[in-house]
């Protein structure tokens, strides 16, 4: 197959791996991986919430989006919740606790904590040619995640939850009438965020083949074309220069549209 141009849009994990397998040598390929570390706080309410129905994401807060004066912090979101998504953000303390939580699912409501990570990870390529992700939440970003968990707990308590808990593996369950939310928050802030200590997900995977103004710091030019192969154009979230502080769907669409328009004009 011969083409005048090739567009790569395999995502922030597979795009850098494809570039490496294709022989590109830019040292920035695979670096600067960002992924919005996320966790949540759950509450059980007296009334039915039925979190699997209705609008998927109808509540959103940027109250703590800038915790350091540089634009890094957390946003709070809600989302439709089914058993699978609920379990992925909860700790596992045994079969009985899991059964009780699933039985309480109609009364369950949660607040997601999405962290804009300042520090980054890397995508490397294994001997089999497949991508291998290396990422560890940095101490800097962990401070913001813990602040977000505290904020989410206060939101869920203020909404009237009868009991609530975070995703910490050894975290407490707060019961209304048995202690203040301040005590719960102080306790949770002492708990760890290392692997195995808190349920966490990698949302909105970005970067790893970022655009920029120089081949010394980026993989592609501002029009998405790689520095090494001008007719090889990137058009996905791997091109993000850094971590966004918002959900990136519209940004991905905008970058893809921009790259397509410039490529079409060049051809």
CA-CA distance, 23 to 175, in Å (whole number)?
57
Cα 224 to Cα 200, 230, 266, distances in angstroms: 31, 9, 12
Phi (first) and psi of residue 82, to 5 degrees: -115, 175
Contact yes or no for 20/125 (Cβ under 8 A): yes
CB atoms within 10 A of CB 62: 12
Residues near 78 by beta carbon (within 8 Å), at least 6 away in sequence: 57, 58, 59, 60, 109, 110, 111, 112
Cα angle 258, 259, 260; round to 5 = 90
Spatial separation of the C-alpha atoms in residues 164 and 176, rounded to whole Å? 9
Edge-to-edge strands of the sheet including 206-207? 131-134, 121-125, 31-34, 206-207
Q: Which class for 2: exposed (0-12), middle (13-18), buried (19 or more C-beta within 10 A)?
A: exposed
Around 99, how many Cα atoms within 13 Å sit in the side-chain half-sphere? 3
Residue 153 vs residues 37, 109, 132, 191: alpha-carbon distances, Å: 17, 12, 34, 14
Q: Check 32, 34, 168, 204 and give the catalytic one.
A: 204
Known active-site residue 204: yes
| List of residues 6+ apart from 79 with CB closer than 8 A | 56, 57, 85, 112
Catalytic residues: 204
């Amino acid at each position: 197959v011969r083409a005048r141009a090739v567009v790569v849009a395999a995502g922030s994990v597979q795009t850098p791996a494809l570039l490496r397998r294709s022989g590109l040598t830019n040292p920035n390929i695979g670096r600067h991986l960002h992924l919005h570390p996320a966790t949540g706080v759950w509450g059980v309410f007296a009334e039915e919430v039925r979190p699997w129905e209705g609008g998927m994401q109808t509540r959103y807060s940027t109250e703590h989006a800038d915790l350091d004066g540089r634009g890094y912090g957390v946003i709070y979101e809600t989302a439709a919740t089914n058993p699978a998504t609920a379990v992925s953000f909860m700790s596992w303390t045994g079969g009985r606790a899991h059964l009780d939580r699933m039985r309480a699912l109609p009364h369950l409501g949660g607040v997601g904590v999405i962290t804009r990570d300042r520090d980054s990870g890397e995508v490397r390529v294994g001997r089999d040619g497949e991508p291998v992700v290396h990422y560890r939440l940095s101490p800097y970003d962990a401070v913001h995640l813990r602040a977000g968990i505290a904020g989410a707990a206060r939101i869920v308590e203020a909404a009237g939850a009868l009991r609530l808990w975070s995703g910490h593996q050894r975290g407490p369950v707060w019961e209304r009438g048995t202690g203040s939310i301040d005590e719960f928050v102080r306790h949770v802030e002492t708990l760890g965020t290392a692997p195995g200590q808190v349920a966490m997900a990698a949302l909105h995977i970005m970067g790893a083949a970022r655009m920029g103004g120089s081949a010394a710091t980026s993989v592609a030019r501002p029009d998405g074309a790689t520095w090494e192969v001008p007719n090889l154009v990137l058009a996905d979230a791997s091109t993000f220069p850094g971590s966004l502080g918002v959900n990136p769907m519209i940004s991905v669409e905008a970058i893809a549209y921009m790259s397509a328009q410039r490529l079409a004009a060049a051809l």
